[in-house]
């Protein structure tokens, strides 16, 4: 989801594992957390760097579609709320970058890999936010889908990742509620406002379903990630849970899910629904979504424009440190 | 040119009377900025009354591979726990 397509090494069978790998797998099976300096298979480390990195990038890039509306929020209160929400996302990115760095990759390296297109972020943030109703739809659906994925990841095997997820989950429900609150307000407003809410749902529904990634029930990569407890549920399981949770919420708003095939399935105790257009998903991931160039461009520009500031503060800190040392020497 | 800001470990006292606890890390050019950034990153919801920041490089950690021998001495000393001693019931709470 926030890490939609994470390539990992294929699952190993027990007789292919070294004694260290067997001991490692047994620790995970016992529910022990793996901590930064401890021995881990190279594949575990690499997969985690990709997954946590993708997740961190998604939090940071995810600020852009909402940041777009901070200056145009309809009231001062809505503006303050949206600002706080977007600031939280910056915090989420920072928790996750720190978790990734414990695996031996530097912050600058992660950012360089984002900027060069080498690492991805969630496809959802390559869709435009056209009007205020989109702030409602994003909080309700996009943060809602993110929560679906993040709650089980609190139990992931890698200690720093698990702790970052716990912090993030504590903050996410505010995000989803503020979005739903916007939707409620608009649906109780004029017919035009309600139509805007419906239009936002229409545009964000399938991209939200794509957030969970394509079906991976037969994927060997997923099997390995699940054995390592860095993935807890299949993409399909999470997507189904998301639909089941969201349909009644849409009904309460008096909005229609844009899917003719949506139907309650008594047997499975869940809703049947249409798959999103996966060819669109792969196009967006490949860089050809409506806003890819704009989003990545904004990140690269922020990084380049901030260089003088980062370097200036570092130079100041080094100078102050040198002066402090000189004063200590003089006092002796 | 890359001049990455150093990494700092952040410790926060959640409430008066509690120890500072490690909450995570962040990058900052110096200690003062590390505290300011820690305020924004780790205490947006009143999570703290005091912040410590320590350069990550200045922390010395025990090695995970020596976990066994390092902690072994306390393993065998079960008498350090009060439950080791049987106190007759008539004595009451002790
Ligand atoms: Fe987030
Ligand atoms: Fe969020």
Tokens 């249409």 belong to which residue?
A274
pLDDT at residue A197 tops 50: yes
Q: Are B11 and B51 within 8 A, CB to CB?
A: yes
Q: What is the pLDDT of residue B1?
A: 45
Tokens 């995000």 belong to which residue?
A175
Q: Domain range holding A48?
A: 14-289
- C-alpha pair distances (Å), B63 with each of B56, B66, B68: 16, 5, 10
Categorize the per-residue pLDDT at A10 as very low, low, confident or very high, splitting at 50, 70 and 90.
low
Q: Are A219 and A11 within 8 A, CB to CB?
A: no
pLDDT tens-digit series, residues A52-77: 999 999 999 999 999 999 999 999 99
Its CATH class, for the domain covering B7-88, is: alpha beta
pLDDT at residue A219 tops 90: no
Span A249-260, mean pLDDT?
Answer: 98
Q: Does B38 touch chain A (CB under 8 A)?
A: no
Do the domain assignments include residue A2? no
pTM: 0.93
Q: Are A52 and A100 within 8 A, CB to CB?
A: yes
Tokens 């990140």 belong to which residue?
A299
Distance A304 CA to ligand 2 centre (A): 26
CB pairs under 8 A between A and B: 54
Other CB atoms within a 10 A radius of the CB of residue A199 amount to: 17
Residue of chain A minimizing CA distance to B32: A317
On the 0-12 / 13-18 / 19+ scale of CB atoms within 10 A, A24 is: buried
Check residues A7 and A279 and name the one with the higher pLDDT: A279
**DSSP annotation string for B39-68:** HHHH-TTS--SEEEEEEGGG-----GGGHH
Question: For each successive 10 residues of chain B (94 residues), what is the average pLDDT?
Answer: 85 96 96 97 95 97 87 90 94 92
CA distance B23 to B7: 14
In chain B, how long is the greatest CA-to-CA distance? 76
For residue B90, what is the DSSP state?
G
Q: What is the pLDDT of residue A331?
A: 87
Q: How far is A216 from chain B (nearest CA, A)?
A: 33
SS3 A286: helix
Closest to A276 (Cα-Cα) out of A290, A258, A251: A258
Do the domain assignments include residue A119? yes
Other CB atoms within a 10 A radius of the CB of residue A227 amount to: 16
Q: Does B29 touch chain A (CB under 8 A)?
A: yes
Q: What is the pLDDT of residue A9?
A: 57
Categorize the per-residue pLDDT at A210 as very low, low, confident or very high, splitting at 50, 70 and 90.
very high
Span A29-56, mean pLDDT?
Answer: 96
What CATH number is associated with residue A177?
1.20.1260.10
Check residues A1 and A201 and name the one with the higher pLDDT: A201
For residue A15, what is the DSSP state?
G
Do the domain assignments include residue A41? yes
Tokens 């027990």 belong to which residue?
A14
pLDDT at residue A2 tops 80: no
CB contact under 8 A, A39 and B24: no
Q: How far is B3 from chain A (nearest CA, A)?
A: 7
Closest to A197 (Cα-Cα) out of A282, A138, A275, A283: A138
CA distance A57 to A44: 20
Domain range list for chain B: 7-88
SS3 A89: helix
Do the domain assignments include residue A40? yes
- What's the number of domains chain A is made of? 1
Do the domain assignments include residue A206? yes
pLDDT tens-digit series, residues A283-309: 999 999 999 999 999 999 999 999 999
Other CB atoms within a 10 A radius of the CB of residue A182 amount to: 26
Tokens 């393993």 belong to which residue?
B75
Helix boundaries (H) for chain A: 19-29, 42-61, 63-67, 76-101, 107-115, 132-137, 143-153, 159-187, 191-210, 220-227, 235-253, 278-283, 292-305, 307-331
Token couple for A43: 């594949």
């Amino acid at each position: 989801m926030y890490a939609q397509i994470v390539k990992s090494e294929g699952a190993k069978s027990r007789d292919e594992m070294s004694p260290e790998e067997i001991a490692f797998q047994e620790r995970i099976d016992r529910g022990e957390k793996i901590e930064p300096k401890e021995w881990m298979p190279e594949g575990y480390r690499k997969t985690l760097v990709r997954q946590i990195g993708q997740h961190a990038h998604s939090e940071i890039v995810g600020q852009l579609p909402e940041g777009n509306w901070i200056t145009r929020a309809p009231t001062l209160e809505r503006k303050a709320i949206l600002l706080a929400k977007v600031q939280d996302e910056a915090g989420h990115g920072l928790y996750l970058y720190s978790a990734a760095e414990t695996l031996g990759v530097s912050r600058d390296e992660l950012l360089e890999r984002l900027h060069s297109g080498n690492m991805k972020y969630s496809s959802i943030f390559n869709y435009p936010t056209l009007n205020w109703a989109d702030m409602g739809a994003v909080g309700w659906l996009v943060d809602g889908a993110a929560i679906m994925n993040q709650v089980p990841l609190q139990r992931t095997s890698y200690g720093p990742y698990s702790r970052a997820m716990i912090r993030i989950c504590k903050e996410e429900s505010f995000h989803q509620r503020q979005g739903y609150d916007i939707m409620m307000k608009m649906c109780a407003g004029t017919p035009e406002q309600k139509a805007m809410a419906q239009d936002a749902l229409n545009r964000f529904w399938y991209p939200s379903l794509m957030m969970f990634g394509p079906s991976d029930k037969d994927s060997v990569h997923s099997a390995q990630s699940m054995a390592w407890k860095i993935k807890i549920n299949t993409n399909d399981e999470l997507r189904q849970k998301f639909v089941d949770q969201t349909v009644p919420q849409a009904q309460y708003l008096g909005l229609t899910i844009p899917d003719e095939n949506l139907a309650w399935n008594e047997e499975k105790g869940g809703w049947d629904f249409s798959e999103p257009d996966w060819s669109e998903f792969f196009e967006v991931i490949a860089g050809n979504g409506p806003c890819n160039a704009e989003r990545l461009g904004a990140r690269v520009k922020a990084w380049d424009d901030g260089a003088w500031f980062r370097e200036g503060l570092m130079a100041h800190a080094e100078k102050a440190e040198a002066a402090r040392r000189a004063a200590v020497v003089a006092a002796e | 040119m890359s001049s990455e800001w150093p990494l700092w470990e952040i410790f926060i006292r959640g409430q008066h009377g509690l120890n500072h606890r490690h909450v995570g890390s962040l990058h900052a050019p110096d200690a003062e900025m590390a505290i300011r950034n820690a305020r924004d990153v780790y205490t947006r919801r009143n999570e703290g009354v005091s912040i410590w920041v320590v350069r990550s490089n200045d922390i010395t950690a025990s090695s995970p591979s020596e976990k066994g021998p390092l902690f072994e001495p306390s393993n065998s000393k079960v008498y350090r726990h009060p439950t080791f001693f049987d106190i007759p019931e008539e004595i009451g709470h002790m």
